Amino acid sequence: MATLVLLRHGESVWNAEGLFTGWVDVDLSEKGEAEATNGGDLLLDNDIVPDVVHTSVLKRAIRTANIALDVADLLWIPVRRTWRLNERHYGALQGKNKAQTREEYGEEQFKIWRRSYDTPPPPIADNDPLSQVGDLRYAGLPSELIPRTECLSDVVDRMLPYWYDAIVPDLAAGKTVLVAAHGNSLRGLVKHLDGISDAEIAGLNIPTGIPLVYELDHDFAPLKRGGEYLDPEAAKAAIEAVKNQGTATAKA
């Protein structure tokens, strides 16, 4: 048996402002830092001691992991970072306001861009200031691997090689593995773990800063479908808030 802990970064500044973020390297808000601290407290309270952490190359996930691990006095554990755990690239929607996008293009199109499995938003131009094509952290990648937009299915395709090649070997070695990543890269991983259909995954949202724990069997399949949030009540409310982003019921 192996333990896998999934942690979505705390609220980012653009989450708070209601903007599509994707691969733009936005920092945590003050609330996001507090959520990361709470995530560390939850690990501590539940005696969960990660042996290794895997993060994306975006600072909201990196800082969330650091803050949570600092709380648990585990800043020293080995860390690996990969673009394959990055948030879904939101294409030309990066930096756009969610509520305004919904108003401009309508509820149906907004939902398709946000949560359909296989329809990506329009691509971002390489010369757009919010494109990642010239970003130093991706300089080692062939240009065709740097997304100009992605749907969730694209995320699953680029995330799974890392799951099999880097995370599974840690789990196989009996390590407790912490993965600090993003709403949509974690949706892709949960889809894979729980065997969720392409249609069903549209209804699944991941809250910020609340560790989701999976106990896995010898074949790296969950003992309990859906895993367990360390604070299920808070997770419920936060999931609802993510779902409602950009709609009239959203707070911001």
Please state the residue numbers annotated as binding site: 8-15, 21-22, 60, 87-90, 98, 114-115, 183-184
Question: Does residue 113 bind ligand 2PG (CB under 6 A)?
Answer: no
Give yes or no: 87 in active site. Answer: yes
35 Cβ contact list (under 8 Å, min separation 6): 10, 11, 64, 208, 209, 210
Answer for which of 87, 150, 170, 231 binds ligand 2PG (CB under 6 A) is 87
Stretch that binds ligand 2PG, among 14-22, 34-42, 132-140, 163-171 (CB under 6 A): 14-22
Question: Does residue 64 bind ligand 2PG (CB under 6 A)?
Answer: no
Question: Does residue 242 bind ligand 2PG (CB under 6 A)?
Answer: yes
- For the chain, strand residue ranges (E) read 2-8, 52-55, 79-81, 177-181, 212-216, 228-229
Helix (H) or strand (E) holding 188: helix 183-194
Question: Does residue 185 bind ligand 2PG (CB under 6 A)?
Answer: no
Give yes or no: 9 in active site. Answer: yes
Task: Answer whether 191's CB lies under 8 Å from 201's CB.
Answer: yes
Task: Answer whether 180's CB lies under 8 Å from 61's CB.
Answer: yes
Please report where in the chains the tokens 């010369």 appear, as a residue: 127
Shortest distance, CB of residue 172 to ligand 2PG, whole angstroms? 30
Answer for which of 3, 15, 38, 82 binds ligand 2PG (CB under 6 A) is 15
Answer for which of 56, 67, 90, 212 binds ligand 2PG (CB under 6 A) is 90
Task: Give the Cα-Cα-Cα angle 17, 22, 26 (nearest 5 degrees).
Answer: 55
